[in-house]
Chains A and B, each alone.
Chain A
Amino acid sequence: MTEFAAFSVAPSRAAVVEELRRLLVPATAGGRAPLPFGLPSLDSHLPEGGLPCGGLHEIVPETESANAAAFGFIVALLGRISSPPPPGPRLRAPEWGREKVIFVMPGYGLRAHGRFYGRLSGHGLNALGLDPARVILVETAHRKETLWALAEALHSGAPAAVAGMIDRLDLKTSQKLQLAAGDCGLPLFLLRPAAPSPPSPACGGGWGGGSAAATRWRIGTAEAARDRFGMHARPRWHLHLERCRNGRPGEWVVEYDHVAHRFSLAAALADPALSRGAGERTFGQAGRS
Chain B
Amino acid sequence: MTGAGGPRIAAANAAAERSGLAVSELLADARAKADTLQVRAVDAAADDAALRRLALWATRYTPTASPWLRDFAGEKNGADGFFLDIEGSAHLFGGEDRLIADLLDRLDRFGLAARLAVAATPGTAWAVSRFHRSPLFVLPSGEEAAALAGMPIEALRLKPETRTALRRLGFKTIGALIDQPRAPFAARFAAELLSRLDQALGRVDEPLVPIVAPPVYHSLHYLLEPIVTAAAIVAHAGRLMQNLVHVLTRDDVGARALRLCLYRLDGAVETVEIGLSLPTRSVAHVARLIDLKLDAVAARQGSNLDLGFGFEAIGLAVTRAEPMPARQIELTPSHPSAASGAPRDARVAATPGWGQDDNTERCAALIDALRQRLGPHRVRRFEAVARHLPERAEALPPTEGETSAWPRPEQARPLFLLPQAEPTEVTALVPDGPPRRFCWRGATYDVAGAQGPERIAGEWWRLPPPSAHSRESGNPTLGPRLRGDERQDALTRDYYLVEDLGGRRFWLYREGLYGRETAAARWFVQGLFA
The residues of A with any CB-CB pair to B shorter than 8 Å are 30-32, 65-69, 71-73, 75-76, 86-93, 95-96, 99-100, 102, 115-128, 131-133, 135-141, 145, 148-149, 152-153, 155-159, 183-185, 220-224, 226, 230-232, 235-238, 258
Contacts and interface: CB of A to CB of B under 8 A. Distances in A.
A234 B88 CA distance: 69
Contacts of A238: 503
Contact of A223 (B394, B443, B448, B527): B448
A121 B448 contact: no
B394 A122 contact: yes
Specify the main secondary structure of chain A where it touches its partner: mixed
A156 B366 contact: yes
Contact of A124 (B338, B349, B414): B414
Contacts of B369: 152, 156
Contact of B349 (A66, A88, A185): A185
Nearest to B525: A118
Contacts, number: 222
Contacts of B379: 136-139
A135 B530 contact: no
B384 A123 contact: yes
B390 A149 contact: no
Given A96-B356, A223-B503, A236-B503, A121 B394 contact: yes
Given A132-B384, A152-B366, 4 more contacts: A68-B505, A121-B413, A137-B382, A238-B503
Chain B interface residue count: which class? 35 or more
A232 B451 contact: yes
B26 interface: no
Contacts of A75: 415, 530
A157 B361 CA distance: 11
Interface in B314-359: 335, 338, 341, 343-344, 346-347, 349-350, 352-354, 356, 359
Contact of B341 (A89, A93, A122, A155): A155
Nearest to B413: A123
A136 B367 contact: yes
B124 interface: no
Interface of B: 335, 338, 341, 343-344, 346-347, 349-350, 352-354, 356, 359-360, 362-363, 365-367, 369-370, 373-374, 378-384, 390, 393-394, 396, 399, 403-407, 409, 411-419, 441, 443, 448-449, 451, 497, 499, 502-505, 527-530
A32 B451 CA distance: 42
Nearest to A27: B346
A26 B504 CA distance: 39
A102 to B, nearest CB: 8
A157 to B, nearest CB: 4
Contacts of B419: 116, 118-119
Contacts of B394: 121-123, 132
Contacts of A31: 346-347, 349-350
A232 to B, nearest CB: 6
Contact of A232 (B344, B360, B505): B505
A108 to B, nearest CB: 13
Given A86-B352, A232-B497, A68 B416 contact: yes
B530 A132 contact: no
A232 B343 contact: no
B409 A68 contact: no
A32 B497 contact: no
Contacts of A149: 370, 373-374
A232 B451 CA distance: 7
11 contacts: A92-B353, A96-B356, A123-B390, A128-B530, A138-B378, A152-B366, A158-B362, A183-B343, A184-B343, A185-B346, A221-B504
Contacts of B405: 133
Contacts of A124: 413-417, 527, 529-530
A99 B443 CA distance: 41
B528 A127 contact: no
